[in-house]
């Protein structure tokens, strides 16, 4: 989705700031353990759902702010050990999803968004696996969490695409954005 210079979602305008802040806040809230599913060795979080949706809706900078900075702040408030891993892994995940969904196959939004979300999930899983090797000082501990990282990426990716396209969240978002023009 190429942004026209007069688009209501151009970088820095109030609607762009509001959408970015709202989605970042949702990411931070979904970083709480009480809103996750306990699994052996940790939790399965749903913050990737918001990251995926934000990256499809927004430009790469806003996607990075929602995904990377939002995840960093969520970890900072609730569990600070992996906060820099979250900044890098979720930030890169969000930027790549945004770039792919806006520039690859622009006439086939669902397919390009699905591809972006899939690539983003791989980035998140690899980033967290490598990052946790350093945070927890051992690759063996990081590997025990690998199946849950894969599950988190897959579940959140499928949920995001279902919400965006069969449930028409993406279409409604575009209608809302275009109805805000003066």
For position 143, what pLDDT does the model report?
85
* Cα angle 46, 134, 160; round to 5: 20
> pTM here?
0.90
Q: Which CATH number fits domain 14-179: 1.10.760.10, 2.60.120.640, 3.10.100.10, 1.10.1760.20?
A: 1.10.1760.20
For position 79, what pLDDT does the model report?
87
Pick from 89, 50, 97: nearest CA to 72: 89
Give per-residue pLDDT as tens, 103-159: 999 899 999 999 999 999 999 999 999 998 888 778 888 888 889 999 999 999 999
The answer to whether the CB of 41 falls within 8 A of the CB of 145 is yes
Helix axes 83-103, 109-135, angle to 10 degrees: 160
For position 48, what pLDDT does the model report?
96
pLDDT beyond 60 at 5: no
Domain segments of the chain: what residues?
Answer: 14-179
For position 156, what pLDDT does the model report?
97
Give the single-character DSSP code of 7.
-
Helix axes 47-57, 70-78, angle to 10 degrees: 160
CA distance 14 to 112: 28
Beta bridge partners of 101: none
CA distance 82 to 76: 9
Pick from 97, 141, 99, 142: nearest CA to 121: 97
The mean per-residue pLDDT over the stretch 167-175 comes to 89
CA distance 90 to 51: 8
């Amino acid at each position: 989705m190429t942004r026209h210079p007069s688009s209501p979602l151009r970088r820095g305008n109030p609607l762009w700031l509001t959408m970015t802040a709202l989605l970042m806040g949702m990411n931070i809230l979904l970083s709480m353990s009480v809103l996750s599913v306990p699994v052996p060795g940790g939790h399965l979080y749903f913050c990737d759902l918001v990251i995926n949706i934000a990256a499809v809706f927004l430009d790469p900078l806003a996607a990075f702010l929602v995904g990377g900075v939002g995840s960093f702040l969520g970890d900072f408030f609730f569990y600070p050990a992996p906060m820099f891993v979250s900044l890098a892994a979720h930030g890169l995940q969000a930027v790549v999803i945004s770039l792919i969904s806006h520039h690859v196959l622009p006439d086939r939004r669902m397919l390009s968004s699905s591809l972006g979300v899939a690539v983003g999930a791989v980035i998140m899983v690899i980033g967290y696996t490598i990052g946790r090797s350093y945070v927890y000082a051992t690759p063996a501990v990081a590997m025990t969490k690998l199946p849950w990282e894969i599950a988190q990426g897959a579940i959140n990716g499928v949920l995001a695409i279902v919400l965006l396209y069969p449930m028409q969240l993406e279409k409604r978002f575009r209608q809302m954005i275009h109805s805000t023009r003066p």
